[in-house]
Amino acid sequence: MDTRRTLLVDAFTDEPLSGNPAGLVPDADGLSEEAMQAIADELNASETAFLLPSDEADRRVRYFTPTQEVDLCGHATVASHAWLAEDGRLDDGEHTLETNVGVLDIEIEEGTVWMTQDTAEVNRVDLEYERVGAALGVDPATMTDIGADMPLATASTGLGFLMVPVNFLEVLSGMDPDMGAIAELTEELDVTGVYAFTFDALDRDSTLHARMFAPAAGVDEDPVTGTASGAAGAYLREYRAFDGEFPDEMVFEQGHFLDRPGRVRVRARSDPVAVGGRAVTAVDGSIVVPEFDEDNIIEA
């Protein structure tokens, strides 16, 4: 049987057991798609990154949730490159990464990994606040009073999300999401998840506080979401969320209601949007990958 080095790396934090844990197989060459999916299921992180050789970039990556492959994942990208730097395989500077949505630019800057995302696309959607409120388990009035300036819209910088601004942090904390309704909503809109946020943040230097739900992708609630943060930055720019000049950099909080607090740095003043963060290794070990002709069991 095949044995591969396997890690859990906590992204968008510099404290272990916080932020968003990503699985990582740094040397995945030769693994079948079936094996990658089984490893991701075994690790049970929201996403696991499998690093492969590339003819188009410095390396290739494939991302798997416990149930399916996804085209892009911000926190697993940050986690994998932070680990590569920690392991001495990468220096500060610019690097390239081949993904299912194309080749992305990655920059490592004094321990922070910056991930350049795809061209932003933001589209207003015609949804009833009552339906969105029922899906999230909140009073629709908490969305309508801010919705005059910040409407419901889908936003993407590689993966699409429904942006749902609410008025206060207590509304965000009190959400009682109906995962079935959210899955139906995201499938109908052809987006990955619902990103609910408020400008009523915990830290004084934070721009907003967010939660992200993606049950149709196998992740009921993600602790800290890089791709959604990039999309949210594009959304804020589209709807001119700030008086005066748009900020050069923003900080988005997420994960506190899952006891996995993290912070995403976002640069969205112009395209391409970039998200950045730090990461720390929490688990470093190996996994045994059996043949898949008789069963799909993995021993960890």
Beta-bridge partner residues of 24 = 7, 49
| Contacts of 159 by beta carbon, 8 Å cutoff, 6+ apart | 70, 71, 72, 191, 192, 227, 228, 231
CB 68 within 8 A of CB 192: no
Angle at 80 between CA 76 and CA 85, to 5 degrees: 150
From CA 146, how far away is CA 200, in angstroms rounded?
12
In the annotation, is 170 catalytic? Answer: no
Which residue in the list 47, 98, 221, 253 is annotated as catalytic?
Answer: 47
Q: Which of 26, 191, 66 is closest to 123 using CA atoms?
A: 191
The three-state secondary structure class of 80 is helix
Residues with a catalytic annotation lie at 47
